[in-house]
Amino acid sequence: MAGLLDVVKFGKKDKTLETKAGITPQRPWQPPQFITCKKCERRATRNNWLKSLYVCPNCGYHQPIDGYYRLSMILDSGTFRELDEDIKSKDVLQFPGYEEKLQNQRRRTGLNEAVVSAYGKIDGHACVVCVLDSRFLMGSMGTGVGEKVTRAIEYATDKSLPLIIFSASGGARMQEGIFSLMQMAKTSAALEVFSRKGGLFISYLTHPTTGGVTASFASLGDIMLAEPEALIGFAGPRVIEQTIGEKLPEGFQRSEFQQTHGFVDKIVPRSEMRATLAQLLRLHEKNGGRRK
């Protein structure tokens, strides 16, 4: 029996990135055939959305996408190797209803946690990539996400590889209380070691990046990139409006706002994502004047 299970498990692990991302040549993604844009509310065929990498063909709205799909967009074909796939959050506080919620999310998304981490190559450059997935409990950071991100950073430190993290998160995961908060310190501490050893960290902010993720690893990139119009901030807009008692202006805390205020190097549309990452990896391949 154990032998049979091993075979099944092996088969599952052997899935290519394309199947994990749900893209097969016969059936690009899944039905329905038409998708309505959340921003401009105009419809376009799924095929057109797919061609534009899930950016609205009409208005340029960047629809949130899931982890594997994003990895399939940037990694060289056949180089994907998933890291720490089996790590899950624990119900550390025995929080009422949390375990069921986790199981629901796992069933619904096919993910164990709100982050996918992988080793792969971009335009021939080996690197470690983490992608937070906002479908899984809003991409919130509990012990599972904190542990996976920390391990990815430590792996990159060990192997002297560049690190890229795509953030998309509502912040700390409330159901894990203080343990969630401490993941902020854990991930930041791992980045400190990585940085001290000369590692390159590219932080790529996508919609939405808020709370404890903004206040830890997401803000600590050597290079800070953002997708257009992503909401990026520490406190949520609703909390700020309640605190100051006034409406926030249009565009507050969006990528463009963050760039104007000095927190983002470049706003990169999805179509240029892979090329920009390749350029940055190329620019960091040789370390200029410093002798090892």
Partner 1 sequence: MIKDILQMEEDLLRQMEELKGDERPSARLRRRQLESDRKELLATCTNLTAEDKVFLARHPKRPKIDEYINALFTDFFEQKGDRANSDDTSILGGIAMYQGMPVTVIGHRKGNTLEENMAYNFGMPEPEGYRKALRMMEQAEKFGRPIITFIDTPGAYPGKEAEEHGQGEAIARNLMVMSGLQVPVIAVVTGEGSSGGALALGVANRVLMLENAIYSVLSPEGFASILWKDASRRAEACEVMKLTAQDLYEFGVIEEVIPEPLGGAQSNREELFENVDASLKKALGELTRMSGHALVQDRYDKFRKIGQ
- Using rule CB under 8 A, residue 206 touches partner 1: no
Tell which one of 100, 192, 272, 285 touches partner 1 (CB under 8 A): 192
Distance of closest approach, residue 199 Cβ to partner 1, in angstroms: 13
| Burial annotation 11-39 (CB, 10 A radius, 16+ → b, else e) | eeeeeebeebbebeeeeebeeeeebebee
Q: Which two tokens stand for residue 94?
A: 């025995």
Distance of closest approach, residue 205 Cβ to partner 1, in angstroms: 10
Identify the sign of the CA torsion 60, 65, 69, 75: positive
Distance of closest approach, residue 230 Cβ to partner 1, in angstroms: 13
List strand residue ranges (DSSP E) for the chain, in order: 34-36, 43-45, 81-83, 115-122, 125-132, 163-169, 201-209, 223-226, 266-267
Distance of closest approach, residue 201 Cβ to partner 1, in angstroms: 11
- Cα–Cα distance for residue pair 150/157, rounded to 1 Å: 10
Tell which one of 92, 106, 155, 259 touches partner 1 (CB under 8 A): 92
Element (H, E) at 105: helix 98-109
Scanning 35-43, 78-86, 143-151, 265-273 for contacts with partner 1 by CB under 8 A, the matching segment is 143-151
- Cα–Cα distance for residue pair 74/48, rounded to 1 Å: 19
- Report which of 277, 224, 234 is spatially closest to residue 70, judged by C-alpha positions: 277
- Cα–Cα distance for residue pair 86/267, rounded to 1 Å: 33
Distance of closest approach, residue 253 Cβ to partner 1, in angstroms: 6
String of contacts with partner 1 for each residue 207-226, x by CB under 8 A: ----xx-xxxxxxx------
**How many residues bind to partner 1 according to rule CB under 8 A?**
55
The total number of residues shown for the chain amounts to 292
Question: In this complex, which beta carbon is closest to partner 1, that of residue 136 or of residue 179?
Answer: 179
Question: In this complex, which beta carbon is closest to partner 1, that of residue 8 or of residue 189?
Answer: 189
Scanning 156-164, 228-236, 265-273, 274-282 for contacts with partner 1 by CB under 8 A, the matching segment is 228-236
Q: Do residues 202 and 163 make contact, with C-beta atoms less than 8 angstroms apart?
A: yes
String of contacts with partner 1 for each residue 155-184, x by CB under 8 A: -----------------x-xxxxxxxxxxx
Question: In this complex, which beta carbon is closest to partner 1, that of residue 50 or of residue 235?
Answer: 235
Question: In this complex, which beta carbon is closest to partner 1, that of residue 133 or of residue 147?
Answer: 147
Question: What is each CA distance from 95 to 3, 116, 132, 137, in whole angstroms?
Answer: 36, 24, 23, 15
Distance of closest approach, residue 122 Cβ to partner 1, in angstroms: 25
Q: Which two tokens stand for residue 114?
A: 């709100």
Residues forming contacts to partner 1 in the complex (CB under 8 A) are: 90, 92-93, 95-96, 142-143, 146-147, 150, 172, 174-186, 188-193, 195-196, 211-212, 214-220, 233-235, 239-240, 243-244, 248, 252-253, 257, 261-263
